[in-house]
Amino acid sequence: MELTDKVFVVTGAGSGIGKEIVVTLLGKGAKVAGVDLNEDSLESLTKYVGDKSDRLSTHTLNISDKKAVIDLPKEVEKKLGAVDAVINDAGIIQPFVKVNDLDYDAIDRVMNVNFYGTLYMIKAFLPLLLKRPEAYIVNVSSMGGFLPVPGQSVYGASKAAVKLLTEGLYAEMAGTDVHVSVVFPGATDTNISKNSGVAIPNQSDNKSKKQQSFPTLSAKKAAEIIVSGIEQNKPQIFTGKDSKMMNLLYRLNPVFATNLIAKQMKSLLSK
């Protein structure tokens, strides 16, 4: 997809990968509607993009609010014109506990944001995208969407749902002018724990050397990979060597891959 002058809607735009996606798209000449729950983060985003802010509109919105999402397309069109693409990046994690110890409020919150929020955005914008000469939907899943991660089982389930929803949508859009991609980020340097209101257990200022040296991809690099994948119309986009490697390993030997992740996650689970 050629990005110049295209109108993108990006959720989770106030921080992390979403913020860097906005910056990357603006740098390529696109117009962007940034959507985020946090109004202060959107204000910071506007300052961050500097003189490119004339091609940015911001929208404070909870994507799990179905009515608000239904009203969003009109708001974006009023400010930027017809929408050409939607990138569903917004997401939260769960507390680092086993399913048995996870309360229902946390379960509902994760599923409402990660799955239903993505679904609401698709339902709100897809009828309009189908009218465009070329359009795009990008849904951000997770490495945890194809690989079980103890202590994040419901988060993983929500991202697996996003994966299959996107793959089904890809099949449904075959023969149309709407491209569809699913993104599988690996370990990335973002504030998702803080934004999710989740503390990472057994971590302190005195982190072990092993924890400190654990490689993570920068949000900027992840965003660049995602935008490049959109330009190439890639159905699957993996950001980070860990995501690519674990995808292959899980396909070849799912039991070994599961036990490997379980061993790595053991220190984060107190029970």
Residue 15 included in any domain = yes
Task: Please write the tens of the pLDDT for every residue from 114-136.
Answer: 999 999 999 999 999 999 999 99
Residue 242 included in any domain = yes
pLDDT score for 214: 57
Residues in the chain: 271
pTM: 0.91
pLDDT score for 154: 97
Residue 201 included in any domain = no
The catalytic residues are 155
Residue 104 included in any domain = yes
Residue 260 included in any domain = yes
Backbone φ/ψ region at 12: left (φ over 0), alpha (ψ -120 to 50), beta = left
Inform me whether the pLDDT recorded for 270 exceeds 80: no
pLDDT score for 209: 41
Q: What is the mean pLDDT of residues 144-158?
A: 95
pLDDT score for 232: 98
Domain that holds residue 244: 7-195+207-268
Q: What is the mean pLDDT of residues 255-264?
A: 92
Residue 70 included in any domain = yes
Question: Residue 218: enclosing H or E segment and its boundaries?
Answer: strand 217-218
Tokens of 203: 């971590």
Q: What is the mean pLDDT of residues 262-268?
A: 82
pLDDT score for 215: 74
Task: Please write the tens of the pLDDT for every residue from 24-71.
Answer: 999 999 999 999 999 999 999 999 999 999 999 999 999 999 999 999
Residue 202 included in any domain = no
Q: What is the mean pLDDT of residues 159-188?
A: 97
Task: Please write the tens of the pLDDT for every residue from 177-223.
Answer: 999 999 999 888 876 656 666 666 655 544 444 444 457 899 999 99
The neighbour count for residue 140, using CB atoms within 10 Å, is 29
Structural domain count of the chain: 1
pLDDT score for 195: 65
Residue 2 included in any domain = no
pLDDT score for 231: 98
Give the torsion through C-alpha atoms of 221, 251, 91, 155, to 10 deg: -140
SS3 assignment, position 209: helix
pLDDT score for 208: 42
Distance, in Å, from the CA atom of 175 to the CA atom of 163, rounded to the nearest integer, reads 21
Task: Please write the tens of the pLDDT for every residue from 80-103.
Answer: 999 999 999 999 999 999 999 999
Backbone φ/ψ region at 5: left (φ over 0), alpha (ψ -120 to 50), beta = left
- CATH number of 175's domain: 3.40.50.720
